Amino acid sequence: MILTDSQILKEIEKKTIVIDPFRRSCLGSNSYDVHLGKRLATYTSEILDCKKDNEITAFDIPAEGLVLHPTKLYLGVTEEYTETHTHVPFLEGKSSIGRLGIDIHATAGKGDVGYCNTWTLEISVRQPVRVYAGMPIGQLIYFEVSGLTEVPYNRKKSAKYGGKTTEPIGSRMFMNFDVESDSWK
């Protein structure tokens, strides 16, 4: 089941959901709007390697906005830091963003119980489009889970995207490759 606005507010009060900064005006009927942070990043190499830590270059979105191009993948970050301790958060693009041809994630729209961080966005566009820091970019939807979570994401030793950051985070797929055995975990 998806949480409604009143249930999201109750969970925030109980601190099972944390949104910082929280703006009441961003609370929808069954979602919470998140905004594009001021930092974007792109990969420095033209060819990416899943077995390597591919270098990214991060930069600020200027006040006049930045034109994104279809030939590039941009890593963005939400302004909002979130914690979700008893629900599964899903991040989806806002319909207004989709109608501009902007996708905010390729495959990683689901968080885990225990996810505590900003959200890195995998932004691609269909045609050139200018974006701005602080603009609404997506919405978080919270799902109830059935059963207890043995180990929440923020306590997993294998968690690759924990901590608190205001920077976009590049792929950490390379951490799934065991060099010693020359095999994927």
Q: What confidence tens digit (pLDDT) does each residue in 115-156 have?
A: 999 999 999 999 999 999 999 999 999 999 998 888 888 888
**How many Å is the Cα radius of gyration of the chain?**
17
Judge whether 183 lies within some domain: no
CATH value at residue 90: 2.70.40.10
Query: Model confidence at 110, in pLDDT bands (50, 70, 90)?
Result: confident
Judge whether 26 lies within some domain: yes
Residue 33: which domain range? Answer: 5-46+54-147
Is pLDDT at 69 greater than 90 in this prediction? yes
Residue 38, burial from CB neighbour count under 10 angstroms (0-12, 13-18, 19+): middle
Judge whether 69 lies within some domain: yes
Judge whether 176 lies within some domain: no
For the range 65-68, what are the long-range contacts, defined as Cβ-Cβ under 8 Å and sequence gap of 24 or more?
A: 65/130, 65/131, 65/132, 66/40, 66/130, 66/131, 66/132, 67/128, 67/129, 67/130, 68/102, 68/123, 68/125, 68/128, 68/129, 68/130, 68/131
11 is annotated as an active-site residue: no
Judge whether 31 lies within some domain: yes
Q: Which among 79, 122, 150, 180 is annotated as catalytic?
A: 122
Beta-carbon contacts of 77 under 8 Å, excluding residues fewer than 6 positions away, are 36, 37, 39, 40, 118, 119, 120, 121, 165, 166, 167, 168, 169
Place of tokens 């979700």: 84
Judge whether 159 lies within some domain: no
Is pLDDT at 161 greater than 90 in this prediction? no
Judge whether 123 lies within some domain: yes
- Our count of domains for the chain comes to 1
CA dist., res. 156 & res. 114, Å (int): 9
Is pLDDT at 178 greater than 90 in this prediction? no
pTM assigned to the model: 0.92
Beta-carbon contacts of 9 under 8 Å, excluding residues fewer than 6 positions away, are 27
Judge whether 107 lies within some domain: yes
